[in-house]
């Protein structure tokens, strides 16, 4: 590496001559960059000349320029994985400087032509040498490959260096698929993940590697309270496979879904999108970001969405209002602070899908709604998030985060008591009304550092966190005609009639179901990622939890508050992983992880709380990066066991008594491939074989398959950029047969669904207009997306439908 420039203004003329002579001399034997592959960079903000020197050293570039043109200029931090030319472009952005490649291969940096203003829409593309490259946070980035992720390690580490399976769904995939629902973005693009249904469609939850995540989703590494999520301010979605309790505390062992929000940008960007589709779907979203001051130390971003529409399901409709402003303050190259606010209002209809007859959901009734329009639930959510970080130097940093999340829910609507009656067409229904208040507070403090000892490179994390969650349901009411309540709740699927439930009789029934729940835990954790010979990566760590939890429902709200108590337990959980990279394109890895699981509730027999669930996982696999690191893949085999599950206590005569001795096992193979075969061809393909079964139980379910878990599932999605303006895509999802309940008394048939898209981009001055249409379920197949976990119903997939979009960006 050689970076040639002058040191001061004196003698500028002759030094320019030296630079010019150098271009024609023997320096040409060193090319501009012998290797144009994507590689990690970590260059702090500071003097532009210093940043250019660091870039030249790490990328092997020959830079030739007059130091006077860089004097007084500063660069932004450059962190992440880029090709060398993309990294250079990021450092020079908004500097008034440009670069070109001389005939001898050197990179010449010079002032831009006067009155030249680079179009932000053109910033991402680099056609100088090699392949195009984009800033991962650039809104115009069309590529699917994401080399780095933070969820697995709480640090921005290359996925190829991380000895766990972590899959990333970038914003470009969401845009191409027009995934306006969070669940679609996840289950269509990540192996081994299915949707889980609890109380109708009230919460978005997933089944990962066979185990239900129980409404535990994460935002920027912090757990959300139960609810729905809007994709308008999501930059990417990261799915960590296997137990993640070491860094995130108590959660289910299959894995975690963490979405990373959009950040304010120093380069102005504005977008307005109008989407419209089948079943009166109407969605308007806006995205605006840029600096608030000339020095670009204070940045803002605003995301908002209004979404309303009906459904292929009778009576069902929805309305959402969502806003998400955020601020970033960077007074210098060492300190950064962020503040986010989210407000969401959802007004919708509870929908439990179609009922079950014998061992199958009823066919030919995908528009059948078994609820009642007299009851309409709603949710109101407020979230405040803040963080600050300080870099002591290039190697050591500290970061503090805080999140406050609250959701107020108004319940309302009928649900089926069970399968269809013996006559094959009538159904008993219960009705629920009431409210629930959910609050959570989260905070964490992390110290990260890099150092070397005896040739070993360490990347350490030491931290602690606190999480508090409370839920109060003080006035819920259940009623049903089957239980003798005079509310007329019976339903006939052959003659569906609505507004038949006696609402006055429902309201006359006093509340009869109450619930209070608390979680309060502290955790301290450590992690060290050791690199030996630049090929062997060893990750070790552990977490010590001090957890309190409890849940109780009494005969009245006063009795519930009086009878509520907390159980406390401490536990240490380890994690060990090893990754070996014999070649730059291949990593072979394995890990062993333990997990501190969810609360099992209260033991009615003893008055105490059951032991929490726990889990352990063994995993081996390999990762590849091919085609100049544009196409990545992960292949993993895992064996995961979950223990302390509740089952019937056979030592007592009461069949309702339980004991925490149950076990379940999931094992399988997962394949995820994502990226670019060429600059024009993007691809996502997944496959999962999942063998999930109950292995120990007193309820007669030993050997039964786990609920809603197909043995085989796969997906394929690809887009091709035919011209500069036109792109088209095609894909499909294949899901095998699934068990509809834990006793395996009914099944959901397997299905195949095909989707397609086409988009045309038309530049209009310095803006661009994108017209796009997506068609879903091209073959109009009838299929079921999943069954409700505690009642025999099946949620129905949409028939053939379309989504159109007009998006204006600047």
What pLDDT is attached to residue 400?
Answer: 98
What pLDDT is attached to residue 126?
Answer: 39
Q: Which of 122, 152, 179 is the last residue of a domain?
A: 122
H, E, C per residue of 346-369? EEECCCCCEEEECCEECCCCCCCC
Structure tokens belonging to residue 571 = 């536990």
Q: How far is CA 211 from CA 68, 191, 740, in A?
A: 61, 14, 14
Q: Using alpha carbons only, what angle is made at residue 647 by residues 645 and 653, rounded to the nearest 5 degrees?
A: 150
Residue 211 lies in a domain: no
Residue 66 lies in a domain: yes
Residue 725 lies in a domain: yes
**Using CB atoms within 10 A of its CB, is residue 199 exposed (0-12), middle (13-18) or buried (19+)?**
buried
Alpha-carbon distance of 390 to 598, in angstroms, equals 34
In the chain, which stretches have pLDDT less than 70?
A: 1-38, 103-105, 112-136, 245, 597-610, 650-651, 654-658, 661
Residue 152 lies in a domain: no
Q: Which of 122, 155, 179 is the last residue of a domain?
A: 122
What pLDDT is attached to residue 651?
Answer: 66
What pLDDT is attached to residue 32?
Answer: 38
What pLDDT is attached to residue 24?
Answer: 31
Virtual CA dihedral for 548, 553, 554, 560, nearest 10 degrees?
Answer: 50
CA 384 to chain centre: 19
Residue 160 lies in a domain: no
What pLDDT is attached to residue 567?
Answer: 83
8 A C-beta contact, residue 144 and residue 682: yes
Residue 792 lies in a domain: yes
Q: Supply the CATH number for residue 502's domain.
A: 2.40.170.20
How many H-runs (helices) and E-runs (strands) does the chain carry?
9, 48
Domain residues for 678? 260-809
What pLDDT is attached to residue 3?
Answer: 44
Q: Which of 122, 143, 169 is the last residue of a domain?
A: 122
Give phi and psi for 334, each to the nearest 5.
-115, -25
Alpha-carbon distance of 89 to 129, in angstroms, equals 13
Alpha-carbon distance of 611 to 605, in angstroms, equals 14
CA 497 to chain centre: 40
Residue 410 lies in a domain: yes
What pLDDT is attached to residue 35?
Answer: 55
What pLDDT is attached to residue 609?
Answer: 61
- Number of domains comprising the chain: 2
Question: pTM of the entire structure?
Answer: 0.83
8 A C-beta contact, residue 490 and residue 426: yes
- What is residue 553's three-state secondary structure? coil
What pLDDT is attached to residue 108?
Answer: 85
Give 6's contacts (C-beta < 8 A, 6+ positions apart).
12, 15, 16, 19, 66, 67, 68
Q: How far is CA 451 from CA 461, 577, 630, in A?
A: 12, 20, 30
Residue 768 lies in a domain: yes
Q: Which of 99, 161, 94 is nearest to 126 (CA)?
A: 99
Q: Supply the CATH number for residue 75's domain.
A: 3.55.50.30
Alpha-carbon distance of 101 to 105, in angstroms, equals 6
């Amino acid at each position: 590496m050689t970076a040639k420039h002058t040191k001061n203004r004196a003698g500028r003329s002759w030094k320019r001559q030296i630079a010019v002579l150098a271009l024609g001399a023997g320096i040409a034997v060193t090319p501009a960059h012998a290797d144009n592959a994507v590689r990690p960079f970590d260059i702090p903000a500071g003097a532009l000349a210093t940043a250019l020197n660091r870039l030249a050293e790490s990328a092997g570039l020959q830079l030739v320029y007059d130091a006077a043109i860089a004097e007084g200029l500063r660069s932004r931090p450059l962190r992440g994985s880029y090709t060398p030319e993309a990294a250079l472009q990021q450092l020079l952005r908004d500097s008034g400087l440009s670069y070109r490649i001389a005939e001898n291969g050197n990179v010449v940096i010079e002032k831009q032509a006067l009155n030249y203003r680079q179009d932000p829409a053109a910033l991402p593309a680099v056609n100088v040498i090699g392949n195009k490259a984009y800033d991962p946070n650039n809104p115009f980035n069309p590529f699917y490959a994401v080399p780095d992720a933070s969820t697995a390690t709480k640090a921005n580490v290359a996925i190829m260096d991380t000895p766990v399976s972590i899959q990333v769904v970038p914003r470009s995939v969401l845009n191409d698929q027009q995934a306006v629902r969070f669940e679609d973005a996840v289950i269509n693009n990540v192996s081994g993940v299915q949707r889980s249904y609890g109380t109708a469609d009230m919460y978005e939850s997933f089944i990962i590697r066979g185990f239900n995540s129980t409404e535990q989703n994460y935002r920027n590494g912090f757990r959300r309270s139960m609810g729905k999520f809007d994709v308008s301010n999501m930059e990417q979605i990261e799915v960590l496979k296997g137990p993640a309790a070491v860094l995130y505390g108590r959660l289910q062992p299959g894995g975690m879904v963490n979405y990373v929000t959009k950040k304010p940008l120093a380069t102005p960007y504005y977008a307005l999108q109008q989407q419209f589709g089948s079943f009166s779907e109407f969605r308007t979203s806006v995205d605006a970001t840029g600096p608030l001051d000339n020095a670009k130390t204070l940045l803002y971003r605003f995301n908002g969405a209004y979404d309303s529409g009906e459904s292929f399901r009778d009576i069902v409709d929805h309305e959402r209002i969502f806003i998400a402003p955020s601020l970033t303050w960077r007074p210098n190259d060492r300190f950064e602070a962020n503040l986010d606010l989210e407000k969401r209002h959802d007004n919708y209809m509870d929908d439990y899908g179609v009922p079950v007859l014998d061992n199958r959901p009823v066919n030919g009734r995908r528009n059948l709604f078994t609820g009642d329009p007299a009851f309409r639930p709603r949710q109101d959510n407020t979230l405040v998030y803040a963080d600050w970080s300080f870099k002591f130097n290039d190697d050591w940093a500290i970061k503090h985060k805080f999140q406050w999340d609250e959701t107020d829910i108004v319940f309302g609507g009928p649900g089926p008591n069970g399968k269809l009656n013996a006559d094959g067409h009538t159904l008993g229904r219960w009705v629920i009304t009431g409210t629930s208040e959910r609050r959570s507070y989260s905070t964490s403090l992390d110290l990260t550092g890099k150092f070397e000892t005896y040739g070993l490179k360490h990347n350490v994390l030491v931290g602690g966190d606190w999480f508090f969650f409370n839920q109060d349901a003080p006035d819920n009411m259940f009623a049903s005609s089957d239980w003798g309540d005079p509310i007329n709740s019976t339903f006939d699927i052959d003659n569906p009639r609505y507004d038949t439930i006696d609402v006055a009789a429902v309201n006359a029934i006093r509340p009869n179901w109450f619930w209070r729940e608390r979680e309060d835990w502290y955790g301290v954790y450590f992690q060290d990622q050791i690199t030996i010979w630049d090929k062997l990566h060893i990750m070790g760590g552990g977490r010590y939890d001090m957890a309190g939890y409890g849940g109780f429902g009494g005969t009245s709200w006063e009795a519930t508050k009086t009878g509520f108590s907390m159980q406390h337990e401490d536990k240490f959980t380890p994690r060990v992983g090893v990754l070996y990279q014999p070649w730059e394109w291949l990593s072979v890895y394995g890990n062993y992880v333990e997990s501190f699981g969810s609360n099992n509730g209260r033991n009615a027999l003893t008055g105490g709380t059951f032991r929490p669930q726990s889990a352990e996982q063994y995993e081996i696999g390999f990762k590849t990066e091919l085609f100049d690191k544009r196409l990545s893949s992960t292949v993993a085999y895992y064996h995961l066991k979950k223990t302390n599950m509740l089952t019937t206590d056979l030592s007592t005569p009461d069949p309702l008594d339980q004991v925490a001795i149950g076990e379940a096992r999931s094992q399988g193979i997962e394949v995820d491939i994502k990226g670019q075969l060429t600059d024009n061809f993007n691809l996502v393909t997944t496959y999962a074989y999942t063998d999930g079964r109950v292995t120990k139980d007193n309820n007669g379910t030993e050997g039964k398959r786990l609920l809603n878990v197909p043995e085989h599932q796969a997906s394929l999605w690809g887009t091709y950029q035919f011209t500069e303006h036109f792109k088209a895509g095609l894909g499909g999802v294949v899901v095998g047969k699934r068990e509809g309940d834990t006793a395996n008394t009914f099944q959901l048939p397997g299905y195949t669904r095909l989707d397609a898209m086409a988009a045309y981009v038309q530049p209009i001055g310095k803006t661009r207009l994108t017209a796009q249409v997506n068609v879903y379920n091209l073959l109009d197949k009838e299929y079921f997306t999943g069954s409700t976990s505690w009642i025999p119903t099946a949620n129905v997939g949409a028939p053939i439908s379309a989504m159109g979009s007009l998006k204006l960006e600047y």
